[in-house]
Amino acid sequence: MSLRQKLLLLFSLTVAAAVAAVAWTVLVRIRLVFEQRDQQETALFVSQFQREFQHRSAEVAAAVERLAASEHARSMAFEIVQSGDAAPYLTEAQTMAQDAQLDFLEILGPDGNVVSSAQWPARFGYPEPATAATGQPAFLKREELPDGTSALGLFAVRAIRGAEPALRLVGGKRLDQSLLAELPVVTDMTVALYSETAQQGTADQTASATQSFDPQRLAGANGDVPGAAKYHSLIEAAQRTGQQTSDILYLTARREDSVNATAIPLKNAAGQVMAVLTVAISREGLVEAQEHIRAIAYGVASGGIVLAIVISLWIAARVSRPIEELARAAEDVAGGNWETRVPEQGHDEVSVLARSFNHMTEQLASQREQLVQTERVAAWRELARRLAHELKNPLFPLQLTVENLVRARSLPAEEFDEVFRESTATLGMEIANLKTIIGRFSDFSKMPKPELERIDAKDILERVRGLYETAGAKPDASIRYEMQIAITPMPLMADPELLHRALSNLVLNAMDAMPNGGTLTLAAKPAGDKIELRVSDTGEGLTPEECQRLFTPYYTTKQHGTGLGLAIVQSVIADHGGTITVESGKGSGATFIITLPRADA
């Protein structure tokens, strides 16, 4: 990733993070405001519900009180007590309940058994446990019904006045959706009543707590409650703890269909939860506001990111351009162009870097020049040393010979002639030797320009082998020649004489490296768009240091070498656009690898 892309990403992320932080803060604040409003509305509703509950309780108690004090009830009680026969009053409770507008009414005999029941006429003769609550305020009670279900009601128990032993009336009103319909409910608020049904065949009212949740028993003022099944955990928690419980319920997969719900347990006198009142306030407004803010945030973030891209492109261009120029200049320097310079603008760190770069390249160029001059001086010194060394060897015999001639002037003529003859022969031979040395140096300094022509690598190798393997050269009988030539054509554009001389030089070096004999291998093969030539020996090989310095002029590992052979070879190969390398290890021979461009077909 480029610097410009990094800067772009950094700017975009920064803008997006800033927008997200602002949006999150606003969303949280809105949620808190809505929750506060919901809590206030719920608290208000609970307060109103409690007032309505107390009002109904008073109504029920008053209605049962009036019934118990009525003349009709008193005469009935008198007759039952007098006759001991309650059968004629089997249906009396239904009539009385209808007159008093009560949903439940039971007449209890002196023994506490039901004489007549409006809600379950067949229940006569069975005991009614609520007798103990005679005279007490109205209370919650679950009343079993003939169809096996039960209904929740507000009940009051009153003794019928005047009768001894006393008969009692247990009257009540159903606590159901009708109560909810009378409660003031604000918009978006849903109230419902969850009432368990008692287990059939039992009168255990505590069984309600152990029953499984049935969504159909959660009824609102207008009937079914949407998503009633979702109230399961909330209602169970209220039943289990007996405390008011609140939670957010998601009624469908849509977030808008969620409510802030509160479950209020309704308990009987013993503290058992008989029913649960649920108050649910729709979160649709909140969710819509959140969605609206989120959409705005997305829009702002998108715009910000686009703006950030534009700005960052401009800033990144300003920031990265000098650096990119520096990078390009560095690449040029690495490529050998030490004259590269970068513009120096401004006074920031990048301009300091540019100035430093320019200074550094100037220093490098200067140091290179110094190095070249130093190397040139060193080369001249080396050349002088080698030249002195090479010339010193023939000069010493020349000096001795001349001195011997001078001393021989005193010898007899025959002896002088012999000495003279020998001395002149020596002088001639050493002078020839001097000429040879000087010729070699001359050749190195005057390498001819190659005259290129199309040849095949195989031919040039065969020619070299033929020269040294046959009588034309001085073959060593202990050296075995081996050819590894590819069968495909290997055309080269090369000067055959110069290439022959270079290869011959390598072959002679290889022969010198194997004084005790060995195998000399000549190989050629295509290597992509190049042709690879190899000259290998099985001599003692070279050290890594020797390999590194082998092509340096005047460096030699031989006793009497000039150190110019391989330098000349490298010069010839370079003039052909090729390269030469050496692979060797101590004791494993050496292989010279020449790579030349393949001629076009």
Say whether residue 84 binds other proteins (CB under 8 A). no
CA distance 156 to 132: 11
Stretch of 114-122, 276-284, 294-302, 439-447 contacting other proteins, by CB under 8 A: 114-122
Segment interacting with other proteins, rule: CB under 8 A, options 105-113, 142-150, 327-335, 390-398: 142-150
- Does residue 65 contact residue 57 with C-beta atoms inside 8 Å? no
Q: Which of residues 112, 121, 242, 561 is near other proteins by CB under 8 A?
A: 121
Of 49 and 124, which CB lies nearer to other proteins in the complex structure?
A: 124
Q: Which of 45, 104, 124, 592 binds other proteins (CB under 8 A)?
A: 124
Dihedral in degrees, nearest 10, Cα atoms 499, 501, 504, 506 = -70
φ, ψ of residue 280 to 5 degrees: the values are -120, 125
Candidate residues 12, 60, 92, 123; the one interacting with other proteins per rule CB under 8 A: 123
Closer to other proteins by Cβ: residue 123 or 283? 123
Q: In terms of CB distance, is 116 or 239 closer to other proteins? A: 116
Q: Please give the Cα distance from 326 to 505 (Å, whole number).
A: 47
147 binds other proteins (CB under 8 A): yes
Is position 148 an interface residue for other proteins (rule: CB under 8 A)?
A: yes
Task: Provide the mask over 155-194, with x wherever binding to other proteins is found by CB under 8 A and - wherever it is not.
Answer: ----------------------------------------
Tokens at residue 63, please?
Answer: 């209605």
Q: Is 129 in the site for other proteins (CB under 8 A)?
A: no
Question: Taking CB under 8 A as the rule, does residue 207 contact other proteins?
Answer: no
- 138, 155 in Cβ contact below 8 A? yes
122 is a site residue for other proteins (CB under 8 A): yes
How many Å apart are CA 91 and CA 109, to the nearest integer?
14
- Choosing from 129, 135, 146, 448, the residue that interacts with other proteins (CB under 8 A) is 146
**CB-wise, 201 or 472, nearer to other proteins?**
201
Handedness of CA 196, 197, 202, 203 (dihedral sign): positive
Is 346 a binder of other proteins (CB under 8 A)?
A: no
**Shortest distance, position 123 Cβ to other proteins, whole Å:** 6
Between 88 and 428, CB nearer to other proteins: 88
The window from 121-129, 288-296, 405-413, 428-436 that contacts other proteins (CB under 8 A) reads 121-129
Amino acid at site 21: A
Q: Which two tokens stand for residue 289?
A: 């506001």
Q: Provide the edge-to-edge strand list for the sheet that holds 218-220.
A: 223-224, 218-220, 189-195, 273-282, 258-267, 245-250
Two structure tokens written together for 315? 């800033």
Rg of the chain, C-alpha, whole Å = 60
Please, what is the minimum distance in Å from the beta carbon of residue 200 to other proteins? 5
Cβ 79 to other proteins shortest distance, Å: 12
Judged by CB under 8 A, does residue 126 bind other proteins? yes
- Amino acid at residue number 584: S
Which one of 3, 33, 44, 87 is in contact with other proteins (CB under 8 A)? 87
* Shortest Å distance, C-beta 216 to other proteins: 16
Total residue length of the chain: 601
What distance in Å separates the CA atoms of residue 582 and residue 592, rounded to the nearest whole number?
A: 4
For position 489 contacting other proteins by CB under 8 A, the verdict is no
Q: Which helix (H) or strand (E) holds 160?
A: none
Helix (DSSP H) and strand (DSSP E) numbers for the chain: 12, 18
Number of residues that bind other proteins (CB under 8 A): 16
User: In sequence order, what are the residues at sequence separation of 6 or more whose Cβ sits closer than 8 angstroms to the Cβ of residue 162?
Assistant: 74, 77, 78
Q: DSSP string of 53-117?
A: HHHHHHHHHHHHHHHHHSHHHHHHHHHHHHH---GGGTTHHHHHHHHHT-SEEEEE-TTSBEEEE
How many Å apart are CA 52 and CA 277, to the nearest integer? 13
Using an 8 Å Cβ cutoff, are 105 and 169 in contact? yes
**Residue 457: Cβ within 10 Å count:** 26
Please pick, from the candidates 9, 46, 90, 219, the single residue that binds other proteins as defined by CB under 8 A.
90
User: Shortest CA distance to 150 belongs to which of 192, 190, 206, 98?
Assistant: 206
Closer Cβ to other proteins, 121 or 242, answer by number: 121
Residue with smaller CB distance to other proteins, 89 or 555: 89
CB closer to other proteins out of 86 and 569: 86
Distances (CA, A) of 592 to 216, 233, 481, 516: 97, 87, 16, 20
Which residue's CB is nearer to other proteins, number 145 or number 383? Answer: 145
Residue with Cβ nearer other proteins (113 or 134): 113
Which residues does residue 280 pair with via DSSP β-bridges, in sequence order? 190, 261
Based on the shown chain and the rule CB under 8 A, indicate whether residue 201 belongs to the binding site for other proteins: yes
Cα–Cα distance between 500 and 495 in angstroms, integer?
Answer: 8
Stretch that binds other proteins, among 48-56, 120-128, 171-179, 394-402 (CB under 8 A): 120-128
Q: Which of 26, 39, 78, 120 binds other proteins (CB under 8 A)?
A: 120
CB-wise, 147 or 164, nearer to other proteins? 147
**Residue among 147 and 600 whose Cβ is closer to other proteins:** 147
Does the protein bind other proteins through residue 88 (CB under 8 A)?
A: yes
Residues near other proteins (CB under 8 A) are: 86-88, 90, 120-126, 146-148, 200-201
